[in-house]
Amino acid sequence: MEIVFILLAFIIMLLSIIWLPYFKQDKTQQRAAQVASAQQGVRAQTNIELYHEHKAEIEKDFKEGRIDEENYQYLLAELDSSLLQDIKTAEQPKVIPNASKSLGAIWPVSLSLFVVVFSVCLYLKQGTLDGLITTPIASHNMQQNMSADQQEQLRQKQMHDYIKELQRHIDDNPDDSKAWHNLAQTLVSAGSYNLAIHAYEQVIRIEGEHAELLGAIAQASYYQHGQQIDEHVKSLIDRALALDANDPSTNILLGMHHFMSQQFPEAIQYWQRIIDDNRPEVNIAAIEEAVKEAKKRLAQPKSTSSPKAVDVSGPQLKISVSLSTEVEQQLALGEDKVVFVYALPSDGQRMPLAAVKLMASDLPKVVTLNNDQAMTAENNLSSVETVHLFAIVSNQGSAGIKPGDFKGETLGVLVNNTEIIHLIINDLVE
């Protein structure tokens, strides 16, 4: 109810400002009329006194013989006529021009109606004081004071609102390929890969089959199937490369997949294709950084001894990775498995910001994720505020989350966290 009182006070204040000059104008006109009336009375009295003076002079001239009877009567008649004329003129009311007053009545009425209608519409739209004060600046300040979880929830809400807006637009414009493409990209960021694939297929329906669209579908299918290149994903990749061997989206996917599997020469090969092709719409600098990092990893000697401490700046996420009792018992029956520990951006992007590889037999173990483990210099832990952490026991020894793997996860972790984060692998991926 607080907004009702605020709006009432707002209306009263504005109406007083609008109508006060109008009423002041009326009082001014009344005073002017009173002054005019007084002036008319003085004029009438003056005319009467002049009449008597003139009449006395005419009578004096007639008595002294300076005028005859006929002129005497004529002059008296003229004097009487002049007096009547002056009296009529004096008694006629002074007409104050009404144009300004009528105009004055129109504009305060119009403004008053606008204020009332605007206030009602504002109340119906906002409804509460919280809605009224949520301006873009206030929203920005509030967002700065939000926790990481609250910011993530806000980002998800904004993304969902944008998806709904695109869907409404597409309902009215089903052949707008650009809208379908924007919807597909947003759905990938939201993790709705099946819907994203459908949106990309609609773009193909409108524009025809192109390598970049097949590559985008391959990426969405790759994430949908737990970052695994199965037969379906492979067929999409083959179709895309058949149309364009240097298609950026397809080669980025292949490079990233091989990088995560620590197959660095293959990753470099796919990414180098993109660099050599040098298309204007591709961020070549980011691809070059990825190649540089892959070459750096390739040059590192493989050793089972403790790695040499590396002086790195930026976030240092210390993660205690362990197996639950149930998972440990199941793994004890078979051969040793590869474990991937990595951080993903909490905004829905799927390229890891940092990753390490170890063996299940090494667990429990404390590992550290930092910027030195990023695939590119631009996409590292310092580039975000929160991340999702995953630890995956890979059944097949390859990167990604696939059926048969065991996983543990912790979502929405602040990258500037300095405490040890406990990550327990306890779920079977089905």
Verify that 201 and 292 share a domain, yes or no: yes
Write down which residue in 257, 272, 298 finishes a domain.
298
Q: Which amino acid is at 73?
A: Q
DSSP letter (8 states) at residue 64: T
Residue matched to tokens 């990023």:
374
In a domain, 134, yes or no: no
Q: Quick check: 185 pLDDT over 80?
A: yes
Verify that 293 and 329 share a domain, yes or no: no
pLDDT confidence of residue 125? 54
Q: Helix or strand or coil: residue 369? A: strand
Write down which residue in 126, 158, 190 finishes a domain.
126
Of 312, 350, 119, 307, the C-alpha closest to 218 is: 350
Q: Is 350 exposed, middle or buried (0-12, 13-18, 19+ CB in 10 A)?
A: middle
- If one counts the domains in the chain, the total is 3
Q: To the nearest whole number, what is the mean pLDDT of the chain?
A: 75
Task: Look at 420 and 101; give whichever has higher pLDDT.
Answer: 420
Cβ within 8 Å of residue 200, ≥6 positions away = 180, 181, 184, 213, 216, 217, 220
DSSP assignment of 146-194, as one string?
Answer: S-HHHHHHHHHHHHHHHHHHHHHHHHH-TT-HHHHHHHHHHHHHTT-HH
Verify that 157 and 286 share a domain, yes or no: yes
Domain around 287 = 148-298
Write down which residue in 246, 271, 298 finishes a domain.
298
Verify that 293 and 161 share a domain, yes or no: yes
Q: What is the pTM of this model?
A: 0.47
Verify that 181 and 274 share a domain, yes or no: yes
- 310: pLDDT confidence band, cut at 50, 70 and 90? very low
Verify that 161 and 282 share a domain, yes or no: yes
In a domain, 84, yes or no: yes
Instruction: Identify the CATH number of the domain in which residue 257 sits.
Output: 1.25.40.10
In a domain, 310, yes or no: no
Verify that 294 and 152 share a domain, yes or no: yes
In a domain, 311, yes or no: no
Task: Look at 396 and 238; give whichever has higher pLDDT.
Answer: 238
Verify that 323 and 292 share a domain, yes or no: no
Task: Look at 5 and 248; give whichever has higher pLDDT.
Answer: 248
Verify that 173 and 240 share a domain, yes or no: yes
**Mean pLDDT value of segment 2-6:** 56
Verify that 341 and 289 share a domain, yes or no: no
Verify that 97 and 181 share a domain, yes or no: no
In a domain, 379, yes or no: yes
Q: Quick check: 89 pLDDT over 50?
A: no
- Report how far residue 55's alpha carbon sits from residue 80's, in angstroms, rounded to the nearest whole number: 9
Task: Look at 213 and 376; give whichever has higher pLDDT.
Answer: 213
In a domain, 230, yes or no: yes
In a domain, 95, yes or no: yes
Cβ within 8 Å of residue 430, ≥6 positions away = 403
For residue range 128-166, list pLDDT tens digits in order. Answer: 444 444 444 445 555 555 555 566 677 778 888 888 999
Verify that 163 and 293 share a domain, yes or no: yes
In a domain, 113, yes or no: yes
